[in-house]
Amino acid sequence: MLDKTKRGWWKSAVFYQIYPKSFQDSDGDGLGDLKGILRRLDYLEKLGVDGIWLSPVYASPQVDNGYDISDYRSIWPPFGTMADMEELIAEAKKRGISIIMDLVLNHTSDQHFWFREALKGKDNPYHGYYIWRTGTPDAPPNDMTAVFGGSMWTYVPALGEYYFHQFAPEQPDLNWDDPRVRRELYDMIRFWVDKGVEGFRLDVIDSIAKEPDQKITSRGPHLHEYIRELSREAFREEGLVTVGEAWSADVAEAGRYSDPSGRELSMVFQFEHTFADCANGDKWAAVPLSLPTLKRCMERWQRGLAGQGWNSLFWDNHDLPRIVSRWGDEGAYRVESAKMLAIALHGMQGTPYIFQGEELGMTNIRLPIEEYEDLETRNRYAEELARGTPAEQALSAIYARSRDNARTVMQWSGEENAGFTTGKPWFALNPNYRQINAEAALADPDSVFYHYQALIALRKRYPVFRDGDFTLLYPDDERLFAYTRETEEEALLIACNFSRDPLPFALPEKFRGAKPLLGRDGEVLGPYEGRLYYQKRARP
Min dist CB 79 to ligand GLC, Å, is 16
Are 140 and 160 contacting, i.e. CB atoms less than 8 angstroms apart?
no
Q: Which one of 204, 241, 360, 492 is in contact with ligand GLC (CB under 6 A)? A: 204
Residue 189 or 335: the one with the smaller Cβ distance to ligand GLC is: 189
For every residue of 468-499, DSSP letters joined together read: PEEEEESTT-SSEEEEEEE-SSEEEEEEEE-S
Assess whether 476 carries a catalytic annotation.
no
Pick 60 or 437: Cβ nearer ligand GLC: 60
Is position 203 annotated as part of the catalytic site?
yes
* Catalytic annotation, pick one of 68, 170, 198, 245: 245
Name which of residues 503 to 532 contact ligand GLC (CB under 6 A).
none
- Which CB atom, from 403 or from 459, has the smaller least distance to ligand GLC? 403
Element (DSSP H or E) covering residue 88? helix 82-94
From the candidates 203, 319, 373, 404, give the one annotated as an active-site residue: 203
Closest separation in Å from C-beta 467 to ligand GLC: 30
Pick between residue 18 and residue 503 the one whose CB is nearest to ligand GLC: 18
Cβ atoms 166, 173 nearer than 8 A: yes
Distance CA 354, CA 49 (A): 9
Q: Do residues 199 and 241 lie in contact, with contact meaning Cβ atoms separated by under 8 Å?
A: yes
CB of 207 to ligand GLC, least distance (A): 9
Which 89-108 positions form the footprint of ligand GLC (CB under 6 A)? 104
- Give the shortest CB-203-to-ligand GLC separation in angstroms: 5
Q: Which of residues 281-320 bind ligand GLC (CB under 6 A)?
A: 318-319
Which one of 25, 33, 50, 64 is in contact with ligand GLC (CB under 6 A)?
64
- The residue number with the shortest CB distance to ligand GLC is 67
314-333 residues in contact with ligand GLC (CB under 6 A) are: 318-319
Query: Judged by CB under 6 A, does residue 67 bind ligand GLC?
Result: yes
**How near is the Cβ of 439 to ligand GLC at its closest, in Å?**
29
User: How many Cβ atoms are within 10 Å of 530's Cβ, its own excluded?
Assistant: 27
User: In DSSP terms, which residues pair with 283 in a beta bridge?
Assistant: none
Whether the CB-CB separation of 88 and 38 falls below 8 Å is answered with yes
Q: Which is nearer to ligand GLC, 127 or 318 (CB)?
A: 318
HSE of 472, CA atoms in CB hemisphere, 13 A: 19
Measured CA to CA, the distance from residue 101 to residue 309 in angstroms comes to 22
Judged by CB under 6 A, the residue of 203, 206, 264, 329 near ligand GLC is 203
Helix extents (H) in 284-406? 291-305, 323-327, 334-346, 375-386, 391-401
DSSP structural state of residue 465: H
Asked if 18 touches ligand GLC (CB under 6 A), the answer is no
Taking the least distance from each CB to ligand GLC, the nearer of 67 and 333 is 67
Check if the beta carbon of residue 527 is closer than 8 Å to that of residue 336: yes
Q: Is 206 in the site for ligand GLC (CB under 6 A)?
A: no
**Half-sphere exposure of residue 60: CA atoms within 13 angstroms, side-chain side:** 23
- Binders of ligand GLC in range 229-268 (CB under 6 A): 245
C-alpha R_g of the chain: 23
Distance CA 303, CA 300 (A): 5
Determine, following the binding rule CB under 6 A, whether residue 226 of this chain makes contact with ligand GLC: no
In the complex with ligand GLC, the residue whose CB is nearer, 384 or 404, is 404
List, as own/partner pairs, every contact residues 321-324 make where C-beta atoms lie below 8 angstroms and the sequence separation is at least 24, other chains included.
321/364, 321/400, 321/401, 321/402, 321/405, 321/406, 322/357, 322/358, 322/362, 322/363, 322/364, 322/405, 322/406, 323/358, 324/361, 324/362, 324/363
Residues between 143 and 202 that touch ligand GLC (CB under 6 A): 167
Which CB, 127 or 407, lies closer to ligand GLC?
A: 407
Phi-psi region of 5 (alpha: psi -120 to 50; beta: other; left: phi over 0): alpha
Query: In the bound complex, what is the minimum distance in angstroms from residue 450's beta carbon to ligand GLC?
Result: 29
Q: Which residues are catalytic?
A: 203, 245
The residue ranges that bind ligand GLC (CB under 6 A) are 64, 67, 104, 167, 203-204, 245, 318-319
